[in-house]
Structure 1
Amino acid sequence: MNQEVKTKKLINAPENIIAEMIEGMVGAHPDMLRVEGSTGRAVVAVDGPRDGKVGIVVGGGSGHEPAFAGYVGRGLADAAAVGNVFASPSPSHIVEAARAVDGGVGVVMLYGNYTGDVLNFTMAAEELEQAGIAVRHVAVADDVASAPIDRKSERRGIAGDFFVFKVAGAAADLGEPLARVEALAQAANEATRSMGVALSPCSLPQTGKPNFTIGDDEMEIGMGIHGEPGIRRQKLAPVDDVTDELVEAVLKELGLKAGDRVAVLVNGLGATSQIELYLIFRRVKQRLDALGIDIHASWVGEYATSLEMAGASVTLMKLDDTLQALLDHPCRTPALVVGAFEKTDGVAARSRKAVKVAESTAAAQEKPRELLTDGDVTPAIFKTMMHAVGNEIIAEKNWLSELDGVIGDGDHGVTMEIGWKAVQSALEDAQDDETIEAICKRMAKAFLDAVGASSGPLYATAFLRAGTAVSHRLNLDGAGMAEWLSAACQGIRDRGRADPGDKTMIDAWVPAVEAGTKVAKDGGSALDVLLAARNGGEAGMKATAALESRRGRSAKLGERSVGHIDPGAASTFVTLRAMTAALQKALA
């Protein structure tokens, strides 16, 4: 009988680890770091931001330490938005980081090219631009294993963040204007390539279980830093052979030749000894020396980890005079110190302009007027249904995470639990006279503030669109329920740009909406609509097993994603099932 493997971590309550980590980090480096904003997730450089300087904001999920907050400091990043483990920071975290470093000439945001990060940073940029702050983006995409060269825009960012952040931070510190900082960051991105190998899984603090399985004598070539499967699993080989494969892929793409200069990063994923990392560097240097390629600078150690995963990656950046100078520019952060600033080179104190941030009103306080009152689903029953969804998601957390562990990073259940617990808490604060539209706005804000990842923006947009669609109704009848479901689905499609057949939650939402809409047109009640939607969603969820993923992290797997249910489709079905059961109970 197989005994379930449980991992051990030195933590307190899993839900508090990020706040406690930030407290520890800032406490350890008070001369470099501080926290700004009400969310507690914007880590800001003490001596970085200043008026007239482009602000550099980096960010991503926790679990990759020292990335991302470890690169905050003079000459590098001005702030980092810190997400939950393996989950993007939410727009509110990013906005606070950007506001803290805005020197009046714009902000450049740098993050890995993952769906959740792209969605959350884009939503944050929209809010900042509405407030008059110019924003530019660079999504780091250095992992050669995650997509072929003709689909380079789909590649994920791994340890190459290190070089792109360094170049952008130096450019901003030297006073380059916004467009120039963005262009130099893009140039660094284009000149940087990485490839990694994993020997063991990691485990999320919330689950305490390995996020994938691998044989004792196996390794995964091309593994992502969230535990995403790579391009091939094979028997463990000698370090020189492994390094040759990693280096060969990188050399081929960079087109390096004799006389070229590079910077080298040999990065450990969290549980790889320095001995092993230096063995890898030894072989990298042998290969480059043989080709007549000069190593201008090198780093060996842990710079972009994956919790306690065993493995490593090799990153090369092809240098020209400009990139080399920016790489050599001084910086001082907890994770990286290059050169030294002159003692007389003081940083002008940034004037602390009072910035009034408009607080979103979570719920409309006016009593509804002239709203349609037909239908069984009152605002009170709707709240009960949404609370029930949270309970079901929490109950199915482990199943959802296990599904995600096969084709993703294993945190979907954890992420959904965080979001729905926040929704449940927000529902407790709802006023008795709030409409369904107001409740949906409250839910959207709670979910988005609590969850980064891709789920945050997707579900927040779904709730907002759904609430708006029924803003003319006090209660929901069959037609109203179908409108709510349809608008939620369309919001997810618009925000995530996924289509049926992409192997995402849309593959459960679309058949659910189609089935529910048909029943509504035939005069069915709200319960009839939900029963049909639940069954359509279940069929759609099951059908995702036969699909090859085309969106999100699992899209990198190609045919290896076939045979597995999409976790987003599974949580969609759980949501519809819970809504249906709660309404049945309320009407019994």
Structure 2
Amino acid sequence: MTEDIRTKKLINAPDDIISQAIEGMLSAHPDLLTVEGATRRAVVAKDGPRDGKVGIIIGGGSGHEPAFAGYVGRGLADAAAVGNVFASPSPEQIVDAARAADGGAGVLFAYGNYTGDVMNFDMAAEECESIGIPALSIPVTDDVASAPKGRENERRGIAGDFFVFKIAGAAAEVGYDLDACFGAAKRANQNCRSMGVALTACSLPQTGKLNFEIGHDEMEVGMGVHGEPGMRRGKLETADEVTNELVELTLADMPLTSGDEVAVLVNGLGATSLLELYIIHRQVAKILSDRGVGIHYSWVGEYCTSLEMAGASVTFLKLDDELKRLLDTPCRTASLTVAGALETKGVHTKRNHDTAQADVRVDRSTLATDGSITPELFRTMMLRVADQIRENRDWLSELDGVIGDGDHGVTMDIGWSAVRKVISEPLDNTITETSHLIAKTFLDAVGASSGPLYASAFQYAGTAVSDRLNLDTKALAAWIEGICIGIQSRGGAQIGDKTMIDAWAPAVTKAQEAQIAGADMLGCLDAACAGARDGRDYSATIESRRGRSAKLGERSIGHVDPGAASTVVVLEAMKSALQVSS
């Protein structure tokens, strides 16, 4: 970034923002909301779940308020899983919400279509099935700017969440079964389109820095709610000109003809006044009227924000008789009320979802003890990784701000800080056990895409060396390979996709080559670092094909993938700790 602009926020400690925001929300709406589960991230409707009703679980990253917890309440969502800023909730946080909302009829997960959310909600659905809660998922895909027509399943979810959540909640409220709730939500998603424009950047609370650059006289048409670049950047135009473009792009994707009827949402992104939003709605209403399209109902205000970003989005929900009926079904939440009588709730019986987990200890007498990396040295290496991620946090987030949502460094630091806490004291663990502990810790702490990816990475890596107490060079190379395989098994990325695999894969190759050539432990790690650096630099030369930056096309060329950059940080930290111990 060319300028080091520091922003101001009314917060206390950045690490406490989510817990304190939830506490404030509960104190503001004690009649509506409570929190349940060990993670303390499941915000639950006091008057929502009941026996025989499908539980509606929504969720996503914080920073989009009132989404998502603001839509928890009677007739809408039964619970919301609250993630860190711009980061998906973890599977355990989602499962806490599912347990609280389960009424014996299954649960429906609804969330924006982002890599991290998809992975975390998929893992939560798998866990729900294992404890006897049937689960279906509907990822919202309303953003016209994020993928062309014909590839709607690749689109991200933005303010259209509002309508899909409302339809799903109403379907459950009136007694639809799980499949029917899914069907109604799916049809709402298929009939929902959004386009947005951003005028200014936002800043993450942990960094206090703007997460992208935009000129004072510029706008970005099609920008996502995490600051992902949109379809084009140009000079700021008048409200009517901007609205015309947003609506024209939307209607080109979802034609509306005379006699059609829609619900309209004109949504502010966090720092746009109602004065401006009503001016936008004025033009939206004129365009629709000229086409003979009726507006059944409009909402104007902040419903899905992006911290303090200035800008707005326009969303249309094309209505049929059923969608109109469900849209009009009464609900009562902190941020959305549809007037009307709510029927007597009925009872909610808390179900027992406990599963017995045996504490299996390894027979160390069967493990290989040759090799210089002992369990204690491995712990020291992981602590060094945590320190180096913290030191490079802002740099990694700046890299991510250019082609993503600007939170990679923050997210990695949250995960590794949690790891530091659980391994800060000496452990009576094998390297496999410590790797598996790191996997669970990372997953529980982070969510986002990094949580499932690094959880799978450390799970596979630990299993790859489960026959050893100490690591020799061959086992070290196998451990690094396990990291790479674990990431690929969960995320599916390949070399050339512009992800962390572009660094991990060559690190594996170079480590294996060094080991076969007879290098010592330090030589193997040095080779892995060299391979990772080559892969990191290579990532800057290619277009992104996965994740949020995949929408950029050629605009992603010239920028290093932040995941590849953090891979280098991890391996070089391990090498540094090994050097000190030698």
Normalised by the length of structure 2, the TM-score is: 0.98
Structure 1 segment 247-396 matched on structure 2, within 5 A: 247-342=247-342, 345-358=343-356, 365-396=361-392
Any residues of structure 2 matched to 1:180-199 within 5 Å, and which? 180-199=180-199
Task: Give matches, 1:399-414, under 5 Å.
Answer: 399-414=395-410
- Report the Cα distance in structure 2 between the residues aligned to 1:367 and 1:18, rounded to whole angstroms: 41
The CA distance in 1 between the partners of 2:11 and 2:356, in whole Å, is 36
Give 4+ residue runs of structure 1 displaced > 4 Å after superposition: 357-361, 364-367
Residue 559 (structure 1) aligned to one of 533, 538, 554: 554
**Contact 1:159 1:194 (8 Å CA) reproduced:** yes
**3-state SS, counterpart of residue 439 of structure 2:** helix
Corresponding residue of 1:178: 178
Give the letter aligned to residue 20 of structure 1.
Answer: Q
- For 1:582, the aligned partner's letter is A
Match of 2:415 in 1: 419
Query: How do residues 35-54 of structure 1 correspond to structure 2 at under 5 angstroms?
Result: 35-54=35-54
For 1:150, the equivalent position in structure 2 comes to 150
User: What do residues 499-542 of structure 1 show as CA deviations (whole Å, max 9, x unaligned)?
Assistant: 11000000000110011111222333332221111000001001
Task: Give, in angstroms, the shift of residue 149 of structure 1.
Answer: 1.1
C-alpha separation between the residues in 2 aligned to 1:232 and 1:184? 34
CA deviation after TM superposition for structure 1 residue 4, in Å: 2.3
Q: Contact conserved, 1:430 with 1:439, CA < 8 A, in 2?
A: no
Task: Using the TM superposition, give the Cα deviation of residue 488 of structure 1 relative to its aligned residue in structure 2, in angstroms.
Answer: 0.9
Whole-Å separation in 2 of the counterparts to 1:583 and 1:378: 11
Equivalent residue for 1:521, pick from 505, 516, 520: 516
CA distance in 2, matches of 1:208, 1:318: 40
Q: Distance in 1 between matches of 2:448 and 2:365?
A: 37
Structure 1: distance between partners of 2:420 and 2:481: 23
In 2, the alpha carbon distance for the partners of 1:276 and 1:484 equals 55
Q: Which amino acid aligns with 1:95?
A: V
Q: Distance in 2 between matches of 1:234 and 1:485?
A: 45
Query: Aligned residue for 1:240?
Result: 240
Query: Displacement, 1:585?
Result: 1.3
Tell me if structure 1 keeps the 8 A contact 2:102–2:351.
no
DSSP 3-state at the match of 1:266: strand
TM-score where L is the length of structure 1: 0.97
Q: Does 1:482 align with 2:492?
A: no
How many Å apart are 1:339 and its aligned residue?
1.7
Mapped contact 2:465–2:475 kept (Cα < 8 A): yes
Q: Which residue pairs with 2:494 in the alignment?
A: 499
Paired residue for 1:99? 99
Post-superposition Cα deviations, 1:368-403, rounded to whole Å, max 9, x if no partner, equal 121111211110110011110111111001110110
How far apart in 1 are the matches of 2:482 and 2:432? 12
Q: Deviations 1:337-390 (Å, cap 9, x if unpaired)?
A: 002224xx22112012333255686xx544512111121111011001111011
Deviation at 1:406, TM superposition (A): 0.3
- 1:171-227: CA deviations, max 9, x gaps? 011110111111111100000000000000011111111111111100000010001
Separation (CA, whole Å) in 1 of partners of 2:163 and 2:3? 43
Distance 2:463 2:137 in 1: 30
Give 3-state SS (helix, strand or coil) of 2:297's partner: strand
1:242-287: CA deviation from partner (whole Å, max 9, x where unpaired) = 0011001111222210000000000000000111000000000000
Q: How many residues align?
A: 582
CA distance in 2, matches of 1:413, 1:424: 16
CA contact (8 A) 1:371 1:473 kept: yes
Deviations along 1:282-320, one digit per CA (max 9) or x if unpaired, are 000000000000000110000000000000000001000
3-state secondary structure, aligned to 2:287: helix
1:479 and 1:526 in contact (8 A); partners too: no
Residues 1:206 and 2:206 are matched in the alignment: yes
CA contact (8 A) 1:478 1:528 kept: no
Q: What secondary structure is seen at the aligned counterpart in 1 of 2:126?
A: helix
State the partner residue of 2:229: 229
Tell me the residue number matched to 1:79. Answer: 79
Give the partner amino acid of 1:379.
P
Structure 2 equivalent of residue 14 of structure 1? 14
- Find the counterpart in structure 2 of residue 60 from structure 1: 60
Tell me: CA distance 1:30–1:555, structure 2 relative to 1, closer, same or farther (3 Å): same
Q: Distance in 2 between matches of 1:218 and 1:186?
A: 36
1:162 equivalenced with 2:162 (yes/no): yes
Alpha-carbon distance between aligned partners in 2 of 1:196 and 1:359, rounded to the nearest angstrom: 47
1:546 is paired with a residue whose SS is: coil
The answer to whether the 8 Å contact 1:501/1:547 transfers is yes
Taking only aligned residues, the RMSD between alpha carbons, in angstroms, comes to: 1.3
Supply the distance in 2 between the matched residues of 1:260 and 1:74 (Cα, whole angstroms): 30
* 2:542 aligned residue (529, 542, 547): 547
TM superposition shift of 1:2: 7.4
Give 2:130's aligned amino acid.
Q
Cα distance in 2 for partners of 1:529, 1:75 equals 59
Question: For 1:58-98, what per-residue CA distance to the aligned partner results, in whole angstroms no more than 9, with x for missing partners?
Answer: 00000000000000000000000000000000111001000
CA offset digits 1:217-241 (Å, max 9, x no partner):
0000001000111111100001111
* Counterpart residue type for residue 327 of structure 1: L
Counterpart secondary structure, 1:83: strand
Q: 1:440 aligns with which of 419, 430, 435?
A: 435
CA distance in 2, matches of 1:38, 1:428: 22
Cα gap change, 1:341 to 1:496, in 2 (>3 Å): same
Q: Is the 8 A contact 1:198 1:309 kept in 2?
A: yes
- The 1:429–1:77 alpha-carbon spacing in structure 2 relative to 1, beyond 3 Å, is farther
Q: Tell me whether 1:535 sits opposite 2:530 in the alignment.
A: yes
Instruction: Indicate how the Cα distance of structure 1 residues 413 and 479 shifts in structure 2: closer, same or farther if over 3 A, else same.
Output: same
Aligned equivalents of 1:525, 1:122: Cα separation in 2: 41
Residue number in structure 1 paired with 2:219: 219
In structure 2, the residue matched to 1:511 is 506
